């Protein structure tokens, strides 16, 4: 008989006990929570450390289709040029002729570095007119689908060829292989002047001819000289317009101008310039200049790297849907013989002075300077020889001037006695009596003015010539290391307003020589003092002190010239006074002149006497009333 199975309670209890024992065993084998954390931290330490230069993020798969769409959206019709291998922000092409080294970027097709290889900055570094993004050149235009582009943002494809000694660089912003906007630069051997062309090919249906097409040219002028004040003064935006007129924007503050019929535009620094010269004059040009302060931080005297910011916006004509301009671009020194050789009136960039002052520099000072330069002499010696030549030419004028001063000194006691006698008379009567005395003794009080006026053109011509002569730049003489800038024998630990933070020895010598010359010549001492007018004697003695402040930061070559001029004048006066002019003889001659009959007055003298008499009568009449 088969036995029935039944529930075994003992077996169930056994299984439960076995499970409890197993769970307890697992519990006692598990480490505490602190140990688990330490294990976790240990595992993290043993993993390789992630550095800043390593990227452990999952690789992002770039969708080339999206990139192409982004480029098409950004560059529009010029997407083709942006998709070429040459579309590289860092890609450049260099033209170098030994004088100029020009670096052109594929981005914008513009010059990103312009180095003048024969010159250095005042700190003896390579001299760049363009570098470190301080300038930009681009053409802004609109397309027929209302997009606005600037070529400085487009990519260009370069092609460099040689035609003899000429280096020719073509840069094209392409819509297709047969449609493009092109810049062509041609750099010749041993020349600072480039040929530069702008043209469009096959863009008639792309560029909107009804909207503005214009060159936008901008430059932050690099500081290259020792004296910021002097350099900034001569850094200006110059231009020629309306058939040969030349002008410049204000050298201080911010200045704007719109001119028509413009034949060239120059971003001019003290000794170097960038000039754009179209073959056909620009119809108009919007010009702007902004002056920078000497210090970006006045408290700590942190120097500014730029002197001025120049901008020019030049509209271009679109003819039959195309732009076609042939131009030249000058990038070089402001040297008279170089600029004058181009016969484009570029020598006007050198501030030689207007009118007669400019003529003296062009036809007298510069030819003599260039002639002496050919002998290989030191520039300090050249300045000395020029000074001697000038003083020799003016020696007759100097003699006449001193003779007039001697006559005024001799007659001064009689003039003082006459004024004392007429001390109660009105000023007109006293002046009339003095003039009568001058006439009797044969003295012309204005005789000393003409010689002084004859010297003025040379005096002011030299004032213009020396600070702008690039030949003197970084040329040393005695203690001056740069005759085109200030000489310094001591650097002050503080800054004096209107003077500076240094002491110029040539300026001090010039002031001392001027003071001695003033004392020896008696300039101003013999001039009668008029009521309400400053005493000329004290004004003349104050002038040397003022010159110390004015010339302390000027070109040391100029202070050196004025020192030599005054020193030679002192020697001339000593010789004239000691060996040529005898004031006792002059006095005797004056006394003899008194005995002679008075000559009949000229019409002009009679008219002046009548006017003085009428003034005297009117004054007397007003007193009675």
**How large is the average pLDDT for residues 279-290?**
95
H helices then E strands: how many in the chain?
17, 22
- pLDDT (tens digit per residue) in 11-49: 555 556 556 655 654 554 444 444 444 434 434 434 333
- pLDDT (tens digit per residue) in 161-185: 999 899 999 999 999 999 999 999 9
Report whether 334 contacts 273 (CB < 8 A): yes
- Together in a domain, 303 and 407: no
Question: In whole angstroms, what is the distance from residue 489 CA to residue 502 CA?
Answer: 8
With CA atoms as reference, report the closest residue to 216 among 141, 273, 266. Answer: 141
Q: Does 2 map to a domain?
A: no
- pLDDT band of 541, cuts 50, 70, 90: confident
Picking from 347, 378, 393, the residue at the C-terminal end of a domain is 347
Q: Does 22 map to a domain?
A: no
- Together in a domain, 426 and 381: yes
Question: In whole angstroms, what is the distance from residue 100 CA to residue 91 CA?
Answer: 20
- pLDDT (tens digit per residue) in 587-599: 787 777 766 666 6
- Together in a domain, 279 and 415: no
Where is 38: in which H helix or E strand? helix 33-46
- Which residues neighbour 52 within 8 Å (Cβ) at sequence distance 6 or greater? none
pLDDT at residue number 621: 62
Which residue in the block uniquely carries the two structure tokens 């408290």? 299
Question: Is pLDDT above 70 for 6?
Answer: no
pLDDT at residue number 36: 44
Q: Does 222 map to a domain?
A: yes
Report whether 510 contacts 566 (CB < 8 A): yes
Picking from 347, 372, 393, the residue at the C-terminal end of a domain is 347
pLDDT cut 70: percent of the chain above it: 77
Question: In whole angstroms, what is the distance from residue 525 CA to residue 536 CA?
Answer: 7
**How large is the average pLDDT for residues 418-424?**
72
- Together in a domain, 326 and 420: no
Collapsed DSSP state (helix, strand, coil) of residue 566: helix
List the single range of 315-319, 345-349, 415-419 with lowest mean pLDDT: 415-419
- Which residues neighbour 410 within 8 Å (Cβ) at sequence distance 6 or greater? 583, 586, 587, 590
- pLDDT band of 604, cuts 50, 70, 90: low
pLDDT cut 90: percent of the chain above it: 50
Q: Does 48 map to a domain?
A: no
Which range has the top average pLDDT, 325-329, 526-530, 596-600?
A: 325-329
- pLDDT (tens digit per residue) in 45-79: 343 333 333 343 344 443 445 557 777 888 889 99
**Domain housing 378:** 363-495+556-595
Question: Is pLDDT above 90 for 202?
Answer: yes
**How large is the average pLDDT for residues 491-498?**
84
Burial string for 49-66 (b: 16+ CB within 10 Å, else e) reads eeeeeeeeeeeeeeeeee
- pLDDT (tens digit per residue) in 429-477: 767 777 777 777 777 766 666 666 777 888 889 989 998 999 999 999 9
Q: Does 220 map to a domain?
A: yes
pLDDT at residue number 338: 95
Q: Does 376 map to a domain?
A: yes
- Together in a domain, 218 and 330: yes
Question: Is pLDDT above 90 for 576?
Answer: no
Question: In whole angstroms, what is the distance from residue 497 CA to residue 1 CA?
Answer: 133
- pLDDT band of 237, cuts 50, 70, 90: very high
Task: Check residues 479 and 590 and name the one with the higher pLDDT.
Answer: 479
Question: Is pLDDT above 90 for 403?
Answer: no
pLDDT at residue number 49: 39
**How large is the average pLDDT for residues 564-589?**
85
Report whether 468 contacts 350 (CB < 8 A): yes
Q: Bridge-partner residues for 375, per DSSP?
A: none
Q: Does 132 map to a domain?
A: yes
The conformation of residue 153, written as its DSSP 8-state character, comes to G
- DSSP of 158-204: EEEEEETTEEEEEEEEEEETTEEEEEEEEE-TT-SEEEEEEEEES-T
pLDDT at residue number 4: 41
Q: What is the mean pLDDT of the chain?
A: 82
Question: Is pLDDT above 50 for 482?
Answer: yes
Picking from 316, 347, 378, the residue at the C-terminal end of a domain is 347
Which range has the top average pLDDT, 72-81, 324-333, 489-498?
A: 324-333
pLDDT at residue number 533: 46
- pLDDT band of 299, cuts 50, 70, 90: low
Question: In whole angstroms, what is the distance from residue 499 CA to residue 553 CA?
Answer: 7
Report whether 127 contacts 331 (CB < 8 A): no
- Together in a domain, 206 and 291: yes
Q: Does 456 map to a domain?
A: yes
- Together in a domain, 238 and 284: yes
Report whether 523 contacts 570 (CB < 8 A): no
Question: Is pLDDT above 80 for 502?
Answer: yes
**How large is the average pLDDT for residues 546-555?**
88
- Together in a domain, 375 and 282: no
Which residue in the block uniquely carries the two structure tokens 């006559």? 407
- Together in a domain, 235 and 368: no
- Together in a domain, 187 and 287: yes
Question: In whole angstroms, what is the distance from residue 498 CA to residue 423 CA?
Answer: 43
- Together in a domain, 260 and 394: no
Task: Check residues 565 and 399 and name the one with the higher pLDDT.
Answer: 565
**How large is the average pLDDT for residues 250-256?**
89
CATH code of the domain covering residue 252: 2.70.98.90
Q: Give the Å distances, CA to CA, from 613 to 42, 426, 447, 482, 502.
A: 117, 12, 24, 59, 56
- Together in a domain, 293 and 406: no
As for how many domains the chain has, the answer is 2
């Amino acid at each position: 008989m088969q036995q029935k199975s039944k529930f075994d309670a003992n077996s169930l209890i056994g299984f439960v006990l076995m499970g409890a024992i197993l769970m307890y065993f697992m519990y006692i084998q598990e480490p505490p929570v602190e140990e688990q954390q330490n294990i976790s931290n240990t595992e993290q330490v043993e993993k390789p450390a992630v550095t800043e230069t390593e990227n452990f993020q999952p690789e992002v798969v770039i969708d080339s289709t999206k990139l192409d769409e982004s480029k098409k959206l950004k560059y529009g019709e010029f997407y083709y040029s942006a998709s070429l291998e040459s579309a590289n922000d860092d890609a450049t092409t260099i033209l170098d002729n030994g004088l100029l080294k020009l670096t052109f970027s594929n981005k914008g097709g513009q010059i990103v570095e312009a180095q003048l290889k024969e010159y250095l900055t005042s700190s003896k570094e390579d001299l760049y007119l363009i570098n470190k993004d301080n300038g930009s050149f681009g053409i802004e235009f609109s397309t027929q689908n209302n997009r606005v582009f600037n070529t400085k943002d487009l990519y260009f494809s370069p092609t460099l060829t040689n035609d003899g000694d000429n280096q020719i660089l073509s840069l094209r912003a392409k819509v297709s292989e047969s449609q493009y906007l092109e810049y062509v630069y041609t750099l010749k051997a041993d020349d600072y002047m480039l040929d530069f062309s702008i043209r469009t090919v096959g863009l008639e249906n792309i560029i909107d001819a009804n909207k503005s097409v214009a060159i936008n040219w901008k430059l932050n002028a690099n500081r290259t000289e020792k004296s910021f004040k002097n350099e900034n003064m001569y850094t200006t935006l110059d231009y020629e317009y309306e058939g040969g007129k030349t002008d410049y924007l204000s050298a201080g503050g911010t200045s704007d101008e719109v001119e028509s019929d413009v034949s060239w535009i120059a971003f001019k620094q003290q000794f170097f310039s960038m000039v754009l010269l179209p073959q056909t004059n620009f119809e108009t040009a919007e010009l702007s200049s902004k002056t920078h302060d000497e210090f970006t931080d006045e408290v700590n005297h942190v120097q500014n790297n730029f002197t001025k910011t120049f901008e020019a916006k030049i509209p271009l004509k679109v003819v039959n849907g195309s732009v076609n301009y042939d131009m030249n671009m000058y990038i070089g020194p402001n040297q008279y013989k170089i600029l004058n050789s181009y016969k484009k009136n570029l020598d006007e960039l050198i501030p030689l002075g207007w009118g007669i002052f400019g003529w003296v520099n062009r036809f007298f000072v510069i030819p003599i300077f260039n002639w002496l330069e050919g002998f290989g002499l030191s520039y300090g010696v050249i300045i000395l020889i020029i000074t001697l030549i000038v003083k020799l030419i003016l020696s007759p004028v100097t003699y006449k001037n001193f003779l007039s001063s001697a006559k005024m000194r001799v007659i001064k006691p009689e003039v003082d006695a006459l004024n004392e006698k007429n001390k109660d008379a009105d000023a007109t009567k006293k002046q009339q009596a003095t003039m009568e005395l001058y006439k009797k003794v044969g003295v012309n009080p204005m005789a000393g003015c003409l010689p002084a006026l004859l010297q003025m053109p040379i005096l002011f011509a030299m004032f213009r010539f020396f600070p702008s002569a690039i030949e003197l730049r970084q040329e040393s003489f005695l203690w001056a290391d740069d005759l085109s800038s200030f000489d310094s024998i001591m650097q002050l630990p503080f800054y004096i307003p209107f003077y500076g933070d240094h002491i110029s020895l040539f300026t001090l010598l010039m002031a001392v020589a001027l003071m001695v010359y003033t004392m020896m010549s008696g300039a101003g001492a013999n001039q009668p003092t008029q009521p309400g007018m400053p005493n000329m004697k004290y004004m003349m003695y104050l002038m040397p002190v003022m010159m110390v402040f004015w010339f302390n930061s000027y070109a040391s070559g100029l202070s050196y010239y004025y020192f030599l001029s005054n020193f030679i004048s002192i020697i001339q006066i000593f010789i004239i006074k000691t060996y040529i002019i005898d004031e006792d003889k002059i006095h005797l001659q004056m006394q003899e002149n008194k005995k002679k009959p008075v000559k009949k007055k000229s019409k002009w003298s009679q008219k002046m006497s009548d006017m003085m008499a009428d003034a005297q009568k009117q004054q007397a009449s007003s007193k009675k009333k």
